[in-house]
Every structure is written in structure tokens, then in C-alpha cells.
């Protein structure tokens, strides 16, 4: 995507990405024009092409970077947790905290998936599959160890992800429940649906925190 090298070019490209994120989140990809984008950044329209090739490339870059960072940060968040129960705990906490902290990126990655060209769409779907696979593997391991019970781990994973991702549409800092309390509510529902009695969870146990620095906004 980037065409301009050097510190000034890097700063301008980052400004373009941030402005593009704001505009697409606010009014949608189709409605955003390159003229608006250039105005938001404070450069001429023609100067945009020193940094991005097309509007489609900008959208693809925003979603791709989001997905790659999501996967990398999840892998760090899961480090140090060995049992399926603890890894599930860590996954729940990471997913909720990340999605609360990155509401715009998450919204765009779902709502504008339809706007991607086929080759770009395929790349993003593959990245999403890698993230989903992390949770499916946790559930598979839990079933194999007889910690979890579910008829289909893939269906269970998709259900869990849909429930957890919804938090970014309604959670507000300073609301009735804190972030940790919301995580505990979600975790309790997932425990009830998946975890065999005596598998390591207790109703009043708060979720363990991942290693320091593993989760954005923690």
C-alpha cells in the first residue's frame, strides 16, 4: 500500500490510515471520497497517491492490519496458560478487552467486508479463519481432556465469538457494570454451556489476568 519512504512519509501514511478509519466508521466506505480523506489529513488529493494506490487498498490495509494484530496479540495473551479452562478464560478476557478498545476497527472489519474485492476478501476471510481456529482448538482440547462438553466445537466457537464480539456495540465505560464484571457475566454463560462439573471453574472465581502487556487497554 505505502509508496513513500522516510519518516515524513511514514507519518503521513499513518495520518491517512487514522483519517480513513474515522471517515469509514462515521459514514461508510462507499460514501467516503478521496477528496474528503485528503482534506481530513490536510494534503492535496493528488498527494494521496504518494501513499495509497486506491481507496480499495486503504480499506484492505485497515482490515488486514487489524486482523494481523488481533491474532498476534491473542497469541501473546494465551502464553503461560496450559489447561483448556485457563486458556478459555484468557481468550474470553482478551477478546472482550480488545473489542472494547478497538470498536471502530472491529465495526469496519465486519460491516465493510462486503466492500472488499474478491482477492482482498479471500485474504481477510483466511485471517478470520486463523483467529477462529485458535478458539476451536481450545475447545477441541477441552473436549479431549473431558473438561468441556459440546456436540460441535466449531458451532460452539462461532456462537461464543458472536456473543463476545457484540460487547463493542453496547458497552460504555462508566456504565452500570465494569469491564471486568461484564467479562465475568460472559464467562459464566460460557461456563454453563461448555464446562463439565469439577473441570476447574468455580462460580465465584474471577478470571485470571493474562501476562502484563498482553491485552490492549488493560
Locate cell 513513500: which residue?
A: 4
**Which one is predicted more confidently, 204 or 38?**
38
**What are the structural domains of the chain?**
1-53 (1.10.10.60), 55-218 (1.10.357.10)
Q: Which residues of 89-114 are buried (b: 16+ CB within 10 A; e: fewer)?
A: bbbbbbbbbbbbebebbbbbbeebee
Angle at CA of residue 217, ends 23 and 97, nearest 5°: 85
CA distance linking residue 96 with residue 116, whole number of Å: 26
Which of 165, 146, 148 lies closest to 156, judged by CA? 148
Q: State residue 213's pLDDT score.
A: 42
Mean pLDDT (the chain, rounded) = 86
CA distance linking residue 79 with residue 82, whole number of Å: 8
Convert the pLDDT of each residue in 81-108 to its tens digit: 999 999 999 999 999 999 999 999 999 9
The C-alpha cell that represents 153 in the structure block: 466445537
Convert the pLDDT of each residue in 107-162 to its tens digit: 999 999 999 999 999 999 999 999 999 999 999 999 999 999 999 999 999 999 99
Band (pLDDT 50/70/90 cuts) for residue 191 is confident
The C-alpha cell that represents 190 in the structure block: 460460557
Per the CB < 8 A criterion, the answer to whether 94 and 186 are in contact is: no
Q: Is the pTM of this model over 0.85?
A: no
Rounded to whole angstroms, what are the CA distances from 10 to 54, 67, 88? 17, 21, 38
Average pLDDT over residues 38-57: 90
Amino acid at each position: 500500500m505505502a509508496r513513500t519512504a522516510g519518516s515524513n512519509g511514514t507519518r503521513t501514511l499513518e495520518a491517512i490510515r487514522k483519517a480513513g478509519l474515522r471517515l469509514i466508521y462515521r459514514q461508510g466506505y462507499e460514501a467516503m471520497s478521496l477528496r474528503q480523506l485528503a482534506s481530513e489529513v490536510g494534503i492535496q488529493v493528488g498527494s494521496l497517491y504518494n501513499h495509497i494506490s486506491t481507496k480499495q487498498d486503504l480499506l484492505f490495509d485497515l482490515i488486514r492490519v487489524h486482523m494481523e494484530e488481533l491474532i498476534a496479540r491473542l497469541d501473546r495473551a494465551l502464553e503461560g496458560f496450559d489447561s483448556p479452562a485457563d486458556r478459555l478464560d484468557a481468550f474470553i478476557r482478551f477478546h472482550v478487552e480488545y473489542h472494547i478498545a478497538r470498536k471502530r476497527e472491529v465495526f469496519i472489519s465486519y460491516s465493510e467486508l462486503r466492500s472488499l474485492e474478491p482477492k482482498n476478501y479471500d485474504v481477510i476471510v483466511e485471517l478470520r479463519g486463523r483467529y477462529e481456529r485458535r478458539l476451536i482448538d481450545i475447545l477441541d482440547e477441552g473436549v479431549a481432556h473431558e473438561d468441556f462438553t459440546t456436540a460441535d466445537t466449531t458451532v460452539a466457537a462461532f456462537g461464543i465469538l458472536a456473543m463476545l464480539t457484540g460487547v463493542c456495540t453496547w458497552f460504555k465505560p462508566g456504565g452500570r457494570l465494569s469491564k471486568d464484571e461484564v467479562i465475568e457475566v460472559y464467562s459464566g454463560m460460557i461456563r454453563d454451556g461448555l464446562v463439565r462439573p469439577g473441570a476447574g471453574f468455580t462460580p465465584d472465581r474471577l478470571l485470571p489476568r493474562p501476562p502484563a502487556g498482553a491485552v490492549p487497554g488493560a
